[in-house]
Structure 1
Amino acid sequence: MKSILKTFAVLIAMVYLTGCGTSENQSQAVSSESSTPSVGQSGVKDDVSNPNVVQVAVGSKDHTTLVAALKAAEYVDALTNVGPFTVFAPTNQAFDALPAGTLETLTKKENQRQLRDILEYHVLLGVYKPGDFVNGRKMGTADGRSVEVTIDADGSILINGGKILGTVEASNGIIHVIDKVLVPN
């Protein structure tokens, strides 16, 4: 019994000494971690997994304006999270059709909240494929408003009058490319 207690005492002493010896290293590790700039989900580098909705947009030459707007609104991290999201992604041409100066005004720092509201109006929570869109259906957006689906006689799907030109699946949702910037009322 004495030998078991002696062994136990030695183990406790070793644990204590080992713990004490690393406290300096642990505090150094904590201080070096705290000096590292904070990076959100969008800062994670992963070239192996399927791309998320933001990575798909970044890879599209037709969505450079959308990507710039996402960055200006600091909305990139939100859309790189797990989701799932349905994103209505206006093309560069759709942004070009806005009244002159609109985009320049919205991307100013003081208008960041307004820009983010508009971008959130392009996002639904959940994955909605083309077959899920029903004529006259109102769908709630991430900003708390809703968009309305219209199905044309030729079968084209419109969201608040913006035609879906194509659909791309992503790891955290689905993207519907549209020909119009959706502006909330």
Structure 2
Amino acid sequence: MKKSIMLLAVISLAFSSCNQSEAATTATTETSETVGAGQEAVQDDDSAPDIVKLAAGNADLSTLVAGVKAAGLATSLSNAGPFTVFAPTNAAFDNLPAGTLEDLLKPENVDKLNDILSHHTYVGVIKTDQLTDGQNLGMVDGKPISIKIVDGKPVVNGTINIIASVPASNGIVHVIDSVILPN
């Protein structure tokens, strides 16, 4: 009797450890598929999108998203922030001199691309009603942009219009009609 109880206990233990091993293997396999993918790989269909997901969901910002990915900034802009991003439209990038965008997207120009995109990012959230005439904002690249109020609306560096402002889970995106080039 004691031998059969002990035999059943050993068999139960063997089955139980096999099931745990299979579960651990499954969890390891599922986890390894997303390891290193960064914050931008997190799937969350219930919360407000972060800045990168918001931009990726807008066809008019696809050039910006391609640049953010090429510069390796997708993870940074998907993190908690908060950030204010001045996001040029595709048409804004099209207005750059011929060949400029293609040149910036080359791997050897990642630092230059990063500098330009960092000049579009402010750490903190600034809504349009908080932008004031004569205000200077220190951008991530360390250089400022200036705000001027024209006809009651904020204008960046005297000529760049804010077309729309959209809140994100980690900040705000101000869609603009030109690329802000650092001085």
TM-score (normalizing by structure 2): 0.81
Structure 2 residues not aligned, in runs of 5+: 1-16
Matched, 1:147 2:137: no
Matched, 1:79 2:64: no
- Give the number of equivalent residue pairs: 161
- Structure 2 counterpart of 1:64: 62
- Structure 2 counterpart of 1:134: 132
- Report deviation, 1:143: 1.2
Q: CA RMSD in A?
A: 2.1
- Report deviation, 1:54: 0.9
Taking a change above 3 Å as real, the CA distance of residues 150 and 40 of structure 1, as seen in their structure-2 partners, is same
- Structure 2 counterpart of 1:172: 170
- Report deviation, 1:35: 6.0
Identity of aligned residues (%): 48
- Structure 1 counterpart of 2:115: 117
CA distance in 2, matches of 1:48, 1:35: 24
1:159 to 156, 161, 164: 156
CA distance in 2, matches of 1:151, 1:104: 33
Partner of 1:46: helix, strand, or coil? coil
- Report deviation, 1:132: 1.0
- Structure 2 counterpart of 1:9: none
Structure 1 residues not aligned, in runs of 5+: 1-20
Partner of 1:116: helix, strand, or coil? helix
TM-score (normalizing by structure 1): 0.80
